[in-house]
Every structure is written in structure tokens, then in C-alpha cells.
Amino acid sequence: MKNKFYITTPIYYPSAKLHIGHAYCTTLTDTIARYNRLRGRETFFLTGSDEHGMKIEKNAAAAGKTPQQFVDEIVASFKELWTALDITNDKFIRTTDKEHVITVQKIFTRFLEQGDIYLGHYEGWYCTPCESFWTDIQVGPEHVCPDCGRPVQKAQEEAYFFKTSKYLDRLLKYYDENLKFITPESRKNEMINTFIKPGLEDLCISRTSFKWGVPVKENPKHVIYVWLDALVNYISALGYGQDEDGNFKKFWAEDTEKVHILGADITRFHAIYWPMFLMALDLPLPDREFIHGLLMTKDGKMSKSKGNTINPYPLIEKYGVDAVRYYLVREVSFGSDGQFTPEQFVERINMDLANNVGNLLNRTLSMINKYYNGVIPTYTKGINNPFDGELEAQMEEIIKDYDSLFLDLHPTEAIASVMKLTSRANKYIDETTPWALAKQEDKAPLDACISHLARSLYIAGVLLQPVLTRKAGNLLDQLGVSGDKRTFKDITDENVLNGLSVHKGDQLFPRLDETIEVPYIVSKMEKKD
């Protein structure tokens, strides 16, 4: 395992406010970043905004604002959302940042000088919302964008092109030698069958039809294609092209695991062109690109035109940030599509947090107060056989599973494994019947039982921290665990809890009994965007 970790989300378009789908991607990425930090890996987590392009220029004009004013306002709302969701990005990159712009220009110049780019003419089908040109085959007889399904227009312009043929063999070799580069694997096969096998064309890499972008220094009537501009954020944010001795040297390094998280809609740019740009820059390629699925509503894909994009704020306000993060991470397996419904939301929180973890905490702390005056007894093994042994084995297994699942980018399954442990511990209460053990002369069986329960809760509390950013800490506070005993390494020590005083507080996860209306983003202002 590489000793450092670099993880990114896509940089989002500030063409409208973000919805729960964007929150899904960023929360899952944050959870993975937090896990890596918990594990002691030096981690850098990047998110940001992708601010150039024709669509932003048009939206700003329609709102009577300059593009810069327009993006400044929306980007401020991105940052607010990430604060509300306890997102711990180490940097927020904006493609309008001066350093980024200079780096993009330097890269373009280098490609020109190296002969990776040439000037030609482009004719094709253009999808304005996606900023993408498509071929006849791709738009089909209906002339619609293969990504978003909207109508495309024929367009022609003088443009620079990037020679993809120069790097294609190396890309295919990289796919073959790095089987986990693009996961799930089906996404890689889709790239090969849809784009590479039919014959990959050179990539049109500049535009002359609008102004809001990074100008080509050598020919300023051109602005640099928004996707080259956007993809470069992953290295410009680390200082590439500026100060390369700091974060760039540290995190775009061979001994750093470099991971991009993205939705399926933008796989083509990340899986095909981004590696080629990096090859042209003579830089290492990312280790992983993990393609997650879409979060949808009952009536399908969320889209502004359908007016069914879901606003995360009312959920955070009503249920709290922990519940929203938990739902996002746990409900839809990372990599598959899923559906948001308020009913499933409430059911998931009740089932896992109220009935399972919350119940275990409540029962255990009550017994520690009742039988031990609030002090956790010393951990003793192998007394209530075979139940102690089974629970001990379960604890060890869960710690191992959780770790390997997180490292392999399966946060949903990693968190599900913690629920397995707390369910097992709840069952252990029924098996060992501590209320009966309390009546016995010999206190050893009760000590063992209660200390096993406390240890299960401790492990669960530590392992839930990456997702439950507040309540996992609260759980550990109630158990009396000090702040310096909450890392992944600490949980292998079986004696951490011996003699700690618990502080039973309010119920950690009260049962939710009412659902709310789906909070759509439908305000007039947003519809106009």
C-alpha cells in the first residue's frame, strides 16, 4: 500500500445550485478521505468548481451579470453546502484562480511546442450544455447528445486538435497492466467499445465561439477547451506549473495513491483524455478512477428542466448532518445507481442508527451505570463461552473487512460491516442475559459480558467517525474515551476502556417517525438559471 493518499471529486459547474447528487459524490469522497486520515495516511482531498465555458457565459448574460460575478455567487453557495455537510477538503480549486489559468496556458504551450497539438477545422454535432462535440454515429438519427439526451447542433470552427493517436497504445497498455485503474470494470469496457474500438478521433481542444475561458496565448481568439482547462485542476491545485516542490511533489508522486472519484457521465474525459494529457506532460497517471452511479428520484434522473432536483438543505436541517451523510454513504452501494425517497431515508436511519447502534449504546450504558456505578469493567476473554469467542472473532473480522473495503473504495460495504458488528453485539446481550448474570455470586461472567459490549461499541464508534462526523464522537464521549484514543490503530488495543467512566447522555439517535415532502429545488430564481 502506498503511504500517501490523494483524492478528488469532479469540479462542479457553477451554472446552478448543487443538488443532492453532487452532495452524494462529495460526501462519499469525504468519507473515504476521512477514513484514510483515521488510518494515519497522509491525505490530500480536493474539490472545486469548473467555471469557464459557453453555458456559464450565457447563464450570466441571462441573469444580467458578468460571468465572474455570476460564478462568484454560485461558488459561495458550493462552499456553504460543503460546510453544512462537514466536508474536509484540503483545498477548493476554482478554474478562474490566476495560478490555475497560468498553468493551463503553460500546458497548452508545451503541447504546441511538442507537436501534440495542431491547428485545423472542426465540424461536428455540438451539445451546448455538455460543452461536447459528437460524431454522426454518436448522436444517432435523432441528433441527441449521447450523454444528456438533449438535441445537438451542427457546428464548424477553426480549432486546435490534440493528437490522441500518439498516446492510444500506451493508454491501452496502462488499462491492461492496471486492472483497477477504471472501476467498476464495466465502465472501462464501455469506453473501449464506445469510443476506442470505433476509432478514436483527435480531440478538439480550443473554441472560438465564445470568450469566457482561458485564452490561447499564441492565438488569443481561441479559448482553451473547457475539459482540458477542467482536468488540469487535479495537478494545478497541487502547484503544478507554479511551485512544484510543495504539495505537487508530495501528492502527485509514485508513492501516493492518486484517486479520482467521478460520475459515469464524465468517464470519457477522465478515462481517455486525462491520462493522455498526463502522458504528454510526462507525469505519472492516477492509480484509480472510481466511477459512482447516479442518485435518482422516483421519477428518474434529476434534472433542472424536469424540476426534480433535490435540495439537501431541508434534510440537513430536519435530520442533522450525521443522518444525511449516513444515508448517502450507506443506502446506495458506491458504484451503482440508486433512488432517493424520504421513506427509505427514515427507514434506513431508524433501522441502523436508532434500533441498532443507538439501542446498543443505550442498553450497554444503562447496565454499566446500574451494575458498575458507571465504570467499565476490565476486559476479560473467553468466559461466557461460546458467545464471547464468537463476538471476539466478529470484532476482529469486522476490523479487517472494514479496512480492506475502504481501501478498495467500497465505503458503503465498509460501513455496512460496522452494522454487522453492532447487530451481533445486540444479539450477544440476548444470548448472555446480563440481567441474570448480575444475580450470580461470581461476577466474572458479567464483567466479561459488559466489557465485550463496551468494546464492540468502542470499535463501532471509531469506525463510524468518517461518516458520522458528530455523533460518532458523541458516542465515544459517552463511553468516556479520550480524544487521543480514537484512531484506527487504537482499536486493536483491548485495554483502552478498562476503568473508564461513562457519561450517559441523551439518546444518540432518536427514532424518526415522520417523513417530509421531497425537498425539490424549484424556486423561480433557480428555474430561470
Q: Which is nearer to ligand MSP, 50 or 352 (CB)?
A: 50
H or E stretch covering 126:
strand 117-127
For the CB of residue 360, give the shortest distance to ligand MSP in the complex, in Å. Answer: 32
For the CB of residue 50, give the shortest distance to ligand MSP in the complex, in Å. Answer: 3
Beta strand 203-204 with 153-162: parallel, antiparallel or unpaired? antiparallel
For the CB of residue 327, give the shortest distance to ligand MSP in the complex, in Å. Answer: 14
Computed from CA positions of residues 327, 333, 336, 339, in that sequence, does the dihedral angle turn out positive or negative? negative
Phi, psi of 397 (to 5 degrees): -65, -45
Q: Which is nearer to ligand MSP, 55 or 318 (CB)?
A: 55
Q: Which is nearer to ligand MSP, 159 or 266 (CB)?
A: 266
Query: Is the previous residue joined to 184 through a cis bond, with omega within 30 degrees of 0?
Result: yes
Beta bridge partners of 157: 122
Residue nearest ligand MSP, CB atom distance:
21
Longest dimension (CA), the chain: 90
Beta strand 42-49 with 4-12: parallel, antiparallel or unpaired? parallel
* Number of other CB atoms surrounding residue 435 within 10 Å: 12
Q: Which is nearer to ligand MSP, 332 or 449 (CB)?
A: 332
For the CB of residue 382, give the shortest distance to ligand MSP in the complex, in Å. Answer: 47
H or E stretch covering 29:
helix 20-38
Q: Which is nearer to ligand MSP, 24 or 406 (CB)?
A: 24
Q: Which is nearer to ligand MSP, 93 or 405 (CB)?
A: 93
Closest by CA position to 341, among listed 81, 516, 84, 523: 516
Q: Which is nearer to ligand MSP, 230 or 409 (CB)?
A: 230
Computed from CA positions of residues 203, 208, 214, 217, in that sequence, does the dihedral angle turn out positive or negative? positive
Distance of alpha carbon 347 from alpha carbon 352, whole angstroms: 8
Q: Which is nearer to ligand MSP, 82 or 372 (CB)?
A: 82
Residue 139: which residues within 8 A CB-CB, separation 6 or more?
125, 145, 146, 152
For the CB of residue 231, give the shortest distance to ligand MSP in the complex, in Å. Answer: 5
For the CB of residue 89, give the shortest distance to ligand MSP in the complex, in Å. Answer: 14
* Contacting residues toward ligand MSP, per CB under 6 A: 10-13, 21-22, 24-25, 50, 230-231, 233, 262-263, 265-266, 294-295, 302
For the CB of residue 395, give the shortest distance to ligand MSP in the complex, in Å. Answer: 34
Q: Which is nearer to ligand MSP, 231 or 418 (CB)?
A: 231
Closest by CA position to 257, among listed 519, 514, 7: 7
H or E stretch covering 400:
helix 387-407
For the CB of residue 498, give the shortest distance to ligand MSP in the complex, in Å. Answer: 45
Distance of alpha carbon 245 from alpha carbon 249, whole angstroms: 5
For the CB of residue 442, give the shortest distance to ligand MSP in the complex, in Å. Answer: 56
b (16+ CB within 10 A) / e for 269-278? bbbbbbbbbb
